């Protein structure tokens, strides 16, 4: 899928035309996946463009590299200013997706990556709407398992980690599903390839714990906080595969996916086959928050203009 990228990108501290952003074929990240990234959304509400939970994204951005001693050679403020700056430079006045990433650069084929390894950082952006059908999608559990701390850190948003997501997605698509669900090494539910998962049972909002190899998602955290603020019973606990089938509701959360209902799991209808009441409530709350219609959460928004 060719992205409708904005005219300018940010590369190592400068705004340049995207066609001028070039890297050598000996870039380490191309060979070994030594790249760190974030997916960030900004929402246009007709008056301003608001970046959602920017500070939290930047914190995770830096932390992901620390797992591998890969340095982000820019301060948090420089990164934050660059993210809002790329929106200003491109005069973006519509909801968009922003992709900041940094990576080990011209380092050859040396596997001994240290803090002295050269790194580069770049940011691009593009207009973005719904990733999935908000009326609901189908999903199925795949045979591939989510990797765990026994092999590589699940909390690092590394490029190489997402090969696991790619092969899971390929299997799900071959099986006729819109999205995959991965189990952890214990056989419990972990997450989707690029999203966290929530189920609703008897009014309880339940999501797998981080010990299931689920990413500590920022949208996941958002829904947990919203649920608690609404006095819902929110639990982080192991979820078995069988529990998916008997759930009253299921939905995915993620920066790209936002809040996406699952209406069929492993070819079995969930609930009445439509987004449930709690799912719809979460979708409404999330939309109000990112569009700056809920003052209680305005601290999560960074205005661009």
For the chain, the structural domain boundaries read: 8-127, 137-290
Query: For 168-184, what is the mean pLDDT?
Result: 98
pLDDT tens, residue by residue, 34-82: 999 999 999 999 999 999 999 999 999 999 999 999 999 999 999 999 9
- Which of 34-38, 106-110, 170-174 is the least confident region? 106-110
pLDDT for the residue numbered 1: 62
Distance from C-alpha of 136 to C-alpha of 130, rounded to nearest angstrom? 12
User: For 126-137, what is each residue's pLDDT tens digit?
Assistant: 999 999 999 999
User: Which of the four CATH numbers 3.90.1170.40, 3.40.1050.10, 3.30.470.10, 3.30.750.24 does domain 8-127 have?
Assistant: 3.30.470.10
Region at 69 (left for phi over 0; alpha for psi -120 to 50; beta for the rest): left
> Does 225 qualify as catalytic in the annotation?
no
Phi, psi (deg, nearest 5) at residue 285: -60, -45
Paired with 205 in beta bridges are 200, 234
> Looking at the predicted structure, is the pLDDT value of residue 3 above 80?
no
245-267 pLDDT per residue, tens = 999 999 999 999 999 999 999 99
- Sorted by sequence, the CB contacts under 8 Å of residue 184 that are 6+ apart come out as 145, 146, 148, 190, 208, 212, 213
Of 94, 157, 268, 280, the active-site residue reads 157
Through-space distance between the first and last CA atoms of the chain, rounded to whole angstroms: 30
Q: Do domains 8-127 and 137-290 have the same CATH topology?
A: no
**Please, what is the average pLDDT of the chain?**
97
CA distance 183 to 167: 14
> Using CA atoms, how far apart are residues 136 and 67, in angstroms rounded to an integer?
36
CA angle at 202 for the pair 197 and 208, rounded to the nearest 5°: 25
Q: What is the mean pLDDT of residues 228-237?
A: 98
Span 137-290 CATH architecture: Alpha-Beta Barrel (3.20)
């Amino acid at each position: 899928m060719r992205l409708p990228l904005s005219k300018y990108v940010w590369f190592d501290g400068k705004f340049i035309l995207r066609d001028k952003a070039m890297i050598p074929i000996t870039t380490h990240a191309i060979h070994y996946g030594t790249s760190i990234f974030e997916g960030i959304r900004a929402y246009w509400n007709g008056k301003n463009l608001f970046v959602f939970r920017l500070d939290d994204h930047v914190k995770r951005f830096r932390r992901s590299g620390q797992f591998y001693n890969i340095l982000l050679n820019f301060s948090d403020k420089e990164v934050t200013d660059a993210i809002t700056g790329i929106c200003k430079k491109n005069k973006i006045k519509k909801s968009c997706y922003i992709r900041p990433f940094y990576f080990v650069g011209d380092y050859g084929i040396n596997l001994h990556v240290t803090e002295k390894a050269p790194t580069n950082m770049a940011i691009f952006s593009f207009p973005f709407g719904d990733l999935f059908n908000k009326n609901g999608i189908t999903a199925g559990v795949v045979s591939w398992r989510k990797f765990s701390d026994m092999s590589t850190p699940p909390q690092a948003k590394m490029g190489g980690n997402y090969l696991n997501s790619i092969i899971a997605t390929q299997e799900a698509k071959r099986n006729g599903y819109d999205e995959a669900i991965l189990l952890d090494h214990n056989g419990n539910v972990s997450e989707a390839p690029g999203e966290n998962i929530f189920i609703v049972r008897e009014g309880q909002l339940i999501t797998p714990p981080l010990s299931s190899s689920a990413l500590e998602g920022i949208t996941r955290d958002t829904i947990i906080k919203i649920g608690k603020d609404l006095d819902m019973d929110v639990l982080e606990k192991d979820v078995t595969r069988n529990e998916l089938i008997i759930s009253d509701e299921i939905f995915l959360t993620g920066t790209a996916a936002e809040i996406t209902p699952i209406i069929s799991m492993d070819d079995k209808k969930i609930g009445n086959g439509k987004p449930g009441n709690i799912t719809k409530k979460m979708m409404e709350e999330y939309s109000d928050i990112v569009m700056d219609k809920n003052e209680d959460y305005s601290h999560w928004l960074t205005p661009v203009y």
